[in-house]
Amino acid sequence: MTRIILIGYMGAGKTTVGKALAAALGVTFYDLDWYITMRYRRSVSEIFAERGEEGFRDLEQRMLHEVAEFENIVLSCGGGTPCFFDNMDYMNSLADTIYLKADPEVLAQHLLMGKGRRPLIEGKSPDELREYIRQTLVVREPFYTRAKHTLDVSLLDTAGKVDQSVQLILKTLNIEH
């Protein structure tokens, strides 16, 4: 049975790597934010607006406990998921957890290029975004580094590099492919 959970800051490539990893393994890919959106028929931004961050984090924890129990999956979590409640301990107890680590400047570049709406960074200038990333990483890194494995993904700018990351994960987890 395969159960892999990818964590890391928003913009690190969890969804991109997760989809490729799931395809390589022949298992189902889930993105926790997408799962929440499908189950509640509301975007993460709408849920944040309606319930606030605390309300969202509570719902996120419940949905994590639901989807993380599935078998033969690769799950990509939101950037804040590991940092609340006992989520990191819970994920480590169930799955191979992998922290996709990227430099703050790389994260800022990815987020500035991205088209999705992200409630925690909406309306920030590029300089404000970089500073916000640096500040939040100080708080989040202690949670992220509790993952069983860490993979540096600072240069995920081509499909070939995504494939290299997938191969490195498979090797790290001793999965024959």
Confidence (pLDDT) at 118: 74
DSSP 10: T
Confidence (pLDDT) at 4: 98
- Whether 116 shows a pLDDT value over 70: the answer reads no
Beta bridge partners of residue 29, listed in sequence order = 74
Contact 82, 140 (CB under 8 A): yes
Confidence (pLDDT) at 114: 75
Give the mean model confidence (pLDDT) for residues 5-9: 97
Q: What angle do CA 116, 91, 67 make, to 5 degrees?
A: 60
pLDDT digits (tens, 9 = 90+) for 13-45: 999 999 999 999 999 999 999 999 999 999 998
> What are 176's two structure tokens?
């024959």
- Let me know if 158 is exposed, middle or buried by CB neighbors in 10 A (0-12, 13-18, 19+): exposed
Give the mean model confidence (pLDDT) for residues 54-81: 97
> What are 40's two structure tokens?
């509640």
Confidence (pLDDT) at 127: 92
d(CA 106, CA 50): 31
Domains of the chain: 3-161 (3.40.50.300)
Confidence (pLDDT) at 62: 98
pLDDT top residue among 62 and 156: 62
